[in-house]
Structure 1
């Protein structure tokens, strides 16, 4: 939701950073890899119970993840870059979940449920993107929802900061992800029915 509706407020900073990195000769894929390495480190810091470092790494990686997409659109986006971006995003999320799970075994069952809900939501997201002919500013159809990347980062941040309530916060995140999955499934139903009607009209 925030990615869709609040992006315009931070886009000037993203644009400026993208222009600066392009002037230094960096490519979008190189920034994607840098964002991945920094983001994956957040899980290690979470495991080591260093919340400040974990949050810094997480949000810096998120910012660079937005920058790399802008860099790609300013040059020439590639399908492989999209694959890298989506894959690395999920690995960063997994790293935080695993780091917290090892540091706080009592919350492992809730973190496992969260991981399952992310798999379900992303399966719907990617499948709809694959079967839909619609495209946005990205190289695939982007389904908005209650839990987009920024909401996920906010909830991960709360989980990292308030480990005393880790199980409760994880279950909240789990519920938000399931709600988002339902949103996307409902939208997919409407979208693909409309696509089916258009196909029948052309026959």
Structure 2
């Protein structure tokens, strides 16, 4: 949701200017690796009690995640390998965050398991729908927007760091919204398929 609402302004003010500066100075894949590095650095930062540093590293990781694709398209270097690496790094960062949130308080184990389960279902729905859908986005693969995307997830992660006393409630809402995102995506895909079949195989 935030992606659809704010991305244009975010892209224009914070991403495109740096893309022009970095053109030919660094490869998109290098930025993707940096995204993973900063995301992994979230673990020692949070576990060491440096909450603000952990949040900063998470935001830098997320910024790199938006920068790499923009740079790849600017350099005409968008590729399936880049998309695969980008998706893998996204999942690595998300796991790092959830792992760190568990590590600082193992009593959160049940809520963490539910969060991971919802994330697994959601990314599966995203990838499977992408396989069977025609790509109509600017990305090198079909991108199906959802109720909970990366921006919303990061907002929840930051809230969990800043408001640990509300962790269980935030985790419950997070899990519910992520599962709902997966369900909505599947329902939309089913409706699209039904419409496509009715158009290609009209009743006599």
1:26 aligns to what SS in structure 2?
Answer: coil
Instruction: Give the structure 2 partner of residue 74 of structure 1.
Output: 74
2:104 is matched with 103
1:43–1:97 Cα contact (<8 Å) kept:
no
Separation of aligned partners in 2, 1:43 and 1:192: 42
What's the secondary structure of 2:23's corresponding residue? Answer: helix
State the Cα deviation string for residues 133-184 of structure 1 (Å, max 9, x = none).
2330111111111111100000000011111221221111111111111111
- The answer for unaligned runs of 5 or more in structure 1 is none
Deviation of 1:124 (Å) = 0.4
Q: CA RMSD in A?
A: 1.4
TM-score, normalised via structure 1 length = 0.93
Matches within 5 A, 1:14-163: 14-23=15-24, 25-75=25-75, 76-163=77-164
What is the CA-CA distance between 1:196 and the residue it aligns to? 3.3
Structure 1, 14-23 or 30-39: larger mean CA deviation: 14-23
Give how far 1:199 is off: 4.7
Q: Give the Cα separation in 1 of the matches to 2:36 and 2:199.
A: 40
Offset at 1:44? 2.7
1:189 aligns with 2:162: no
Task: Return the offset for 1:197.
Answer: 3.8
Distance 1:180 1:15 in 2: 29
The unaligned stretches of length 5 or more in structure 2 are none
Shift of 1:94: 0.3
How many residues are aligned here?
200
